């Protein structure tokens, strides 16, 4: 076949020289590689001055001669030399499977990677918080930039629309707390103290904490999904282009809504929990509602209400900030929306529980127990 790659062996000054002819291309290479592999001699030189053309396959064959036998390539054009050098630079051993290592080292590596990722998220969240503070300062400097309608709309989304699910959840949790408490206290003949258990734990801890978890799963995820979809549709970039700061128009209304509504939702959840516990005490323990209410007023101090109302806006701020932060991190494809939405919920619940533990220690240290 015309242009078929071939070579001949010649002895020059006691050295074996391979003279290549034709085209060293994938379409004309034929069995040239097998013939070179089966050679019993080690050629000192390979002359390709008569070769019409060299492609990547031909350059790879010449590189193997040079690598395996130390053959010197002569007579190559500038283009052929560059191609051979590029093929040689790409000739590296590729590891198909990663090193297994020990189970301990793999576990330690995962813990380290997770820790570094957590610190990276925390640093990004702090930077996002700084941007939000700047946006709040700009709104205070120019109050006309405050978007009141957007905040009111978020009030309805975060607060009014969630009253049903939060009320149902709180009522059932109140029943569960009263039932489990009554079962344990009955062993000591102290069923009446079920009222103390229900009143204090709901007003001080569970009312706000369970509401925060529900708001994180409902509103925090919605914030992340909404802002993430806007990022993918380049709506956020368009807002920046026309001079509308996304922090003021998108983030601030959502964070403000969750911060202001969390105390109201937490107080509402605590009252509904007490109602559920009171119903269980009436049906199971025979404690009438008027006695239950009177006992609640006696055993629940005002400090428990203050504790819940102080923690609630902090939890709401963290939930709104985390949801918006994760939403603004979306980039690339639609899969990122789901990943960041999940990250927003997990991160918000984690931070809420950490802050709740901090508040528990703080209030105990100042005597609010």
8 Å CB contact between 27 and 53 = no
Cα(342)–Cα(217) distance, integer angstroms: 9
End-to-end Cα separation, the chain, in angstroms: 96
101-to-52, 105, 106, 171 alpha-carbon distances in Å? 50, 7, 7, 51
Angle, vertex CA 315, rays to CA 312 and CA 320, nearest 5: 125
8 Å CB contact between 174 and 280 = yes
Q: SS3 of 50, please?
A: strand
8 Å CB contact between 219 and 322 = no
Question: What tens-digit pLDDT sequence spans the chain (369 residues)?
Answer: 567 888 888 887 778 888 888 888 888 888 887 888 777 777 888 888 888 888 888 888 888 888 888 888 888 888 888 998 898 888 877 777 776 778 888 889 889 998 998 899 899 999 999 999 999 999 999 999 999 999 999 999 899 999 999 999 999 999 999 999 999 999 888 888 999 999 999 999 999 999 999 999 999 999 999 999 999 999 999 999 998 999 999 999 999 999 999 999 999 999 999 999 999 999 998 999 999 999 999 999 999 999 999 999 999 999 999 999 999 999 878 889 999 999 999 999 999 999 999 999 999 999 887
| Torsion sign (Cα): 341, 347, 350, 356 | negative
pLDDT of residue 1: 53
Sequence-separated (6 or more) residues with CB below 8 Å from residue 240? 246
pLDDT of residue 217: 93
Query: Could you please report the per-residue DSSP string of 167-221?
Result: HHHHHHHHHHHHHHHHHHHGGGT-GGGHHHHHHHHIIIIIHHHHHHHHHIIIIIH
pLDDT of residue 2: 61
Cα(168)–Cα(363) distance, integer angstroms: 29
Superfamily of the domain at 6-89:
STAS domain (3.30.750.24)
Cα(151)–Cα(193) distance, integer angstroms: 43
Rg (CA), the chain: 36
8 Å CB contact between 320 and 257 = yes
Domain definitions of the chain by residue range: 6-89, 135-365
Angle, vertex CA 314, rays to CA 305 and CA 123, nearest 5: 155
Q: Which segments of the chain does DSSP mark as H helices, in order? A: 32-37, 56-69, 78-89, 103-141, 148-158, 163-185, 194-201, 207-215, 221-232, 235-241, 246, 252-280, 289-299, 302-328, 334-365
């Amino acid at each position: 076949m015309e242009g078929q790659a071939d070579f001949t062996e010649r002895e020059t000054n006691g050295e074996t020289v391979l003279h290549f002819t034709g085209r060293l291309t994938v379409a004309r290479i034929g069995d040239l590689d097998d013939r070179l592999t089966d050679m019993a001699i080690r050629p000192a030189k390979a002359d390709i001055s008569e070769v019409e053309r060299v492609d990547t396959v031909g350059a790879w064959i010449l590189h193997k001669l040079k690598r395996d036998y130390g053959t010197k390539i002569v007579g190559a054009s500038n283009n052929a030399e560059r191609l051979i050098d590029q093929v040689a630079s790409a000739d590296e051993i590729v590891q198909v499977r990663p090193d297994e290592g020990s189970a301990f080292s793999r576990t330690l590596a995962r813990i380290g990677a997770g820790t570094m990722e957590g610190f990276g998220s925390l640093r990004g969240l702090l930077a996002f918080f700084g941007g939000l503070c700047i946006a709040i300062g700009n709104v205070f400097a120019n109050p006309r930039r405050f978007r009141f309608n957007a905040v009111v709309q978020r009030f309805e989304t975060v607060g009014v629309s969630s009253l049903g699910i939060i009320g149902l959840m709180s009522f059932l949790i109140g029943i569960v707390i009263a039932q489990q408490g009554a079962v344990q206290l009955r062993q000591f003949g102290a069923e009446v103290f079920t009222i103390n258990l229900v009143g204090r734990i709901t007003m001080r801890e569970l009312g706000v904490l369970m509401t925060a978890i529900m708001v994180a799963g409902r509103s925090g995820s919605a914030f992340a999904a909404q802002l993430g979809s806007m990022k993918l549709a380049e709506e956020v970039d368009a807002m920046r282009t026309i001079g509308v700061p996304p922090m003021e128009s998108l983030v601030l209304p959502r964070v403000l809504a969750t911060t202001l509504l969390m105390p109201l939702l937490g107080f509402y959840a605590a009252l509904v929990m007490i109602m559920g516990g009171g119903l269980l005490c009436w049906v199971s323990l025979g404690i009438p509602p008027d006695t239950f209410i009177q006992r609640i007023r006696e055993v629940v101090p005002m400090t428990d209400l203050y504790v819940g109302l102080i923690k609630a806006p902090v939890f709401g701020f963290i939930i709104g900030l985390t949801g918006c932060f994760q939403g603004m991190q979306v980039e690339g494809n639609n899969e990122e929306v789901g990943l960041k939405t999940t990250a927003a919920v997990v991160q918000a619940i984690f931070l809420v529980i950490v802050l709740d533990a901090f508040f528990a220690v703080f209030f105990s240290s100042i005597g609010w127990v």
